Amino acid sequence: MNTSFWKAGHAPTLFAAFLYFDLSFMVWYVLGPLGVQISADLGLSTQQRAMMVATPILSGALLRLVLGMLADHTSPKTTGLLGQLIVIAALAAAWKLGIHSYEEALLLGLALGFAGASFAVALPLASQWYPPQHQGKAMGIAGAGNSGTVLAALFAPGLAAAFGWSNVFGLALIPLSLTLVIFASVARNAPERPQPKALGDYLKALSAPDSWWFMLFYSVTFGGFLGLASTLPGYFHDQYAFDPVLAGYYTAACVFAGSMLRPLGGALADRIGGIRALLTMYTLAAICLAILGFNLPSATAALGLFVAAMLSLGAGNGAVFQLVPQRFRKEIGVMTGLVGMAGGIGGFALTAGLGVIKQSTGDYQLGLWLFAGLAVIAWFGLHSVKERWRNTWGSAAVSAARV
């Protein structure tokens, strides 16, 4: 990375945005790796466990719009500090008072949604410091914070086995508090910021049919990545009788694959075209998920296929956001919020839906096949709009996308 990038913006703010995003995603996702242990102590059914794990995803998806608008009207740094304080307070209460019922677990999940909404704060905070020629690098560094899910999958089950799952909430306060201090000390709002977006801007964007297409495409890629990441600890436990720690290790491998491939997916889309790249990703994901639906007897084979599926979905996330700015140059801030919200809602639907199907049928087969079917629907939807996009986006955008 050349020196001009580091001189173009504000590196301490970029680092603070990444750290805030990374630790926020860690605690947003933490109920997933802890789901088996929590549900065993609280006596939850598979469906209740899935809903507990899915609640932070839905809350975070909806709160992205709220925090995004708050960041516009106050500042990204102020909003980030507020969000961190709410999450720290919620975890502290869960640690000191304990979680004794399904309803209390859901309440914690709602509060953890503020951590998931960090997307709407960290990315604008970093982005506003950098000129157009360095936006990709800045967003790649700040957006790499979704790797925080790997930390939760790796460490949360082991810490819960050693100290009890309620104490994991207390242990999480240590890095979160340090992050709060660093964020407050070094993050700075950019001197020039765009005009605040009004609710009407979001409604106007929703009137464009292409908005709904992008929301569908991202609900399958990011929703699939997040939904599988949240479900896999329970899946490996239920399907192969893994203990929570081993299930966490298997899940971490899958989540790491999806997280790391997001920036590479954007780079591939730059090289071969966003649509072509995304069609390929949907194809690979659908094939892997369809095979997994046969309830493979080998956990190693299942791991390999889940890694491949997560690689495809992670790369697909990057491909979607390679296309969005080409269609919505002037509305990119609004579209980032809407598309990001749709991705979160997709993750909630997949996590909760897999839990309902497992509870009703005894296994995950139908759920995995339905998700594979959604990837096929997205493939056909993307293919169906390809020609119209070529004719309406303008030659410059089409040339850039290599459609």
- How confident is the model over 345-356, as pLDDT tens digits? 999 999 999 999
For residue 243 the two structure tokens come to: 């203990």
Q: Is the pLDDT of residue 28 over 90?
A: yes
Identify which of 231, 358, 250, 237 has the alpha carbon closest to the alpha carbon of residue 307: 250
Q: Has this prediction a pTM greater than 0.85?
A: yes
CATH fold, domain 11-186, is Growth Hormone; Chain: A; (1.20.1250)
Q: 107-118: per-residue pLDDT in tens?
A: 999 999 999 999
Best CA proximity match to 262, nearest among 341, 184, 149, 181: 149
Q: Please report how many Cα atoms fall inside a 13 Å half-sphere around the Cα of residue 265, on the Cβ side.
A: 30
Whole-angstrom Cα distance, residue 177 to residue 310? 31
Q: Does domain 198-403 have CATH number 3.40.50.360?
A: no
Strands (DSSP E) found in 160-293: none
Give the pLDDT of residue 399.
46
The residue assigned the tokens 């994991």 is 168
Q: What is the average per-residue pLDDT within 116-128? A: 86
pLDDT tens-digit profile of 179-196? 999 999 999 998 887 777
Q: How far apart are CA 31 and CA 50, in angstroms?
A: 10
Q: How many residues does the chain have?
A: 403
Domain ranges of the chain: 11-186, 198-403
- Do 11-186 and 198-403 agree at the fold level? yes
User: What tokens were used for 355?
Assistant: 């839990």
pLDDT of residue 390: 66
- Compute CA 70 distance to the chain's CA centroid, rounded to the nearest angstrom: 20
Q: Which of 21, 31, 223 is nearest to 108 (CA)?
A: 31
HSE, side-chain direction, 13 A CA sphere, residue 332: 17
What is the predicted pLDDT for the residue at 396?
Answer: 45
Distance of CA 133 to the CA centre of its chain: 25
CA distance 376 to 380: 6
Determine whether 100 is exposed, middle or buried from the number of CB atoms within 10 Å of its CB (0-12, 13-18, 19+). Answer: exposed
Q: What is the mean pLDDT of residues 381-389?
A: 86
pLDDT value of residue 205: 83
